[in-house]
Amino acid sequence: MAEPVSKDPARIAGMFDAIARRYDLLNHLLSAGLDRSWRRRAIQSLRIAGHETLLDVCTGTADVALAASGGGTSGPRVRRTIGVDFAVEMLRIGQRKIRDANGAPSIWLVRGDASLIPLSDRSVDLATIAFGIRNVQEPSRALREIARVLKPGGRLAVLEFGDPYVPGLRELYRWYFRFVLPRVGALVSRHRSAYSYLPASVGSFPLPAAFLAQIRAAGFSEAHADPLTLGIVYLYSARK
């Protein structure tokens, strides 16, 4: 595992605010559109029945919130979604997307920190965090907070980048992630440090076995990690 990178909340929030306008475009471009299928898999893992309240931590521009509410996935939709993020500009864009999708009645966006979620104990049925846990200063604390607000039996789905397990692809992916992605990201977003931070933050994130141990220590059971797209991304799922 690489050396830790600075995850000061004010710094990270400011960085995401700076790239908010081009964040969605770059997500789709740099993942070759696979980010949509990864979110669908996460939502499907929650086994939504249709009556639930979903908490989406580090909601960003609300892509998961919209998909879970019926804006990008088949099957039952949650009754309502609460998205929490500390980046104001990201939330502003997310709110605009919700209005455009006519999802405002069932989705609420709230400014808040993953380590101090502004909800009461046992108040939600499901929780997601897509590509955000590695940006949290204390991931274990955020996981404990999610466990606190989940009802007993509630399900958690976490998406995070990994390292491909196929030789050859692994080396190609690392080269792309370290050299191509930061250059394209900086060119499109006009923010050089944000897309240099991305590979650094992924490199410092725990390996799947270690992160599963953190999930279990936070109060979850039935925790497992499923590699998506040959291990480029991992879907971590668990139950309180």
Domain count, the chain: 1
At 68, which CATH number?
3.40.50.150
Residue 212 falls inside a structural domain = yes
Quote the pLDDT of residue 104: 63
Cβ partners under 8 Å of residue 207, min gap 6? 1
Residue 22 falls inside a structural domain = yes
Name the strand (E) or helix (H) holding 222.
strand 221-228
Residue 182 falls inside a structural domain = yes
User: How many other C-beta atoms can be found within 10 angstroms of the C-beta atom of residue 219?
Assistant: 14
Query: How far apart are the C-alpha atoms of 70 and 129, rounded to whole Å?
Result: 18
pTM, rounded to two decimals: 0.92
Residue 1 falls inside a structural domain = no
Structure tokens belonging to residue 103: 């999802």
Residue 3 falls inside a structural domain = no
Rounded average pLDDT per 10-residue block, the chain, 240 residues: 68 88 87 93 95 97 93 75 96 95 83 96 98 95 98 98 91 87 78 76 91 98 97 97
Cβ partners under 8 Å of residue 143, min gap 6? 133, 214, 215, 217, 218, 220
Q: What is the domain range of residue 202?
A: 9-239
Q: Is 93 left (phi over 0), alpha (psi -120 to 50) or beta?
A: alpha
Quote the pLDDT of residue 178: 84
Residue 2 falls inside a structural domain = no
Report which DSSP code applies to 136. Answer: S
- CA-based nearest residue to 194, from 75, 18, 27: 18
What is the SS3 assignment for 155-166? Answer: EEEEEEECCCCC
Report yes or no: 13 and 86 within 8 Å, Cβ to Cβ: yes
Quote the pLDDT of residue 70: 79
Residue 17 falls inside a structural domain = yes
Quote the pLDDT of residue 73: 56
Residue 4 falls inside a structural domain = no
